[in-house]
């Protein structure tokens, strides 16, 4: 899939992994729509990128808002060809503790944003991609979801987060099979510990300690490395139906 001239949607594109992805796809020539709840950061990023960049405020769980973002990205000359879902939230709470059982509404909220929100982006983006003319490889589009190594190595207190990310991993192959006849690929990246705004709030000593625990390279991942993998996925038509761990060989301990 060629990036230059393609319409691209990056959900959760105002910061962190999404911001790096929006920057990379834009630099490679895509017309990028940044969809995010953070209007201040999203508008600032779109203004910085300039031509071929646009921001739309959107909650990934809101079908109408995501549909508007998809429609905007589909206005590109070649239509919406690339969608990347980076929006997500986290929560730490044990299944039960001295304070009582895990809050059920919080569990629902995490699954709603991370899993259902991801599927909402996928289903609407794929519907728009379905209308594209196929390229010389027969391809109409590619979608990349963001899971986490917590899907495999969920730690104590991560039941909600790990369940939501595990669901993303689980839907990747059947979605790719669903869409294969239309030439639409579906993949997922499962990042390890990355230097995102979530970890930026930690003391530097703690950040260094987290990085040191990664086998190699022994540091936190950089958002641009996630964006590099998105670009490589887009470029390689044989990549499909797979979840790729991007974690420096890290396997998380129980806590």
Give me the active site residues, please: 161
pLDDT digits (tens, 9 = 90+) for 112-129: 999 999 999 999 999 999
> What average pLDDT does range 225-245 have in this prediction?
98
Q: What is the pLDDT of residue 205?
A: 85
- Residue 207 above 90 pLDDT? no
- The burial class, CB within 10 Å (0-12 / 13-18 / 19+), for 29 is middle
What's the whole-model pTM score?
0.96
Q: What is the pLDDT of residue 11?
A: 98
Give the domain ranges of the chain: 7-245
- Residue 25 above 90 pLDDT? yes
pLDDT digits (tens, 9 = 90+) for 195-206: 988 777 778 888
The answer to whether the beta carbons of residues 8 and 33 sit under 8 Å apart is yes
Q: What is the pLDDT of residue 204?
A: 86
Q: Give the CATH number of domain 7-245.
A: 3.40.50.720
Three-state secondary-structure class, residue 238: coil
Three-state secondary-structure class, residue 106: helix
If you average pLDDT over every residue of the chain, what do you get?
Answer: 96
Distance CA 195, CA 220 (A): 6
Three-state secondary-structure class, residue 160: helix
Which of 75, 66, 80, 88 is CA-nearest to residue 25?
Answer: 80
- Residue 35 above 80 pLDDT? yes
């Amino acid at each position: 899939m060629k990036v230059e001239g393609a319409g691209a949607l990056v959900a959760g594109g105002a910061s962190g992994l999404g911001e790096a992805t929006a920057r990379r796809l834009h630099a490679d020539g895509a017309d990028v729509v940044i969809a995010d709840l953070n209007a201040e950061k999203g508008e600032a990023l779109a203004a910085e990128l300039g031509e071929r960049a646009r921001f739309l405020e959107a909650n990934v769980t809101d079908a109408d808002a995501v549909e508007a973002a998809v429609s905007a990205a589909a206005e590109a000359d070649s239509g919406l060809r690339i969608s990347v879902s980076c929006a997500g939230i986290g929560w730490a709470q044990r299944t039960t503790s001295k304070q009582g059982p895990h809050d059920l509404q919080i569990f629902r909220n995490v699954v709603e944003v991370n899993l259902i929100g991801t599927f909402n982006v996928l289903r609407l983006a794929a519907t728009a991609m379905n209308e594209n003319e196929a390229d010389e490889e027969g391809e109409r589009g590619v979608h990349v979801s963001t899971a986490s190594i917590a899907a495999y190595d969920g730690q104590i207190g991560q039941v909600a987060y790990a369940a939501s990310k595990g669901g993303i991993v689980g839907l990747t192959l059947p979605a790719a099979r669903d869409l294969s006849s239309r030439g639409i690929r579906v993949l997922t990246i499962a990042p390890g510990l990355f230097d995102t705004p979530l970890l930026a709030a930690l003391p530097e000593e703690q950040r260094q300690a987290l990085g040191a625990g990664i086998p190699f390279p022994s540091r936190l991942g950089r958002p641009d490395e996630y964006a590099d993998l998105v670009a490589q996925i887009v470029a390689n038509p044989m990549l499909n139906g797979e979840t790729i761990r991007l974690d420096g060989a890290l396997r998380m301990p129980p806590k």
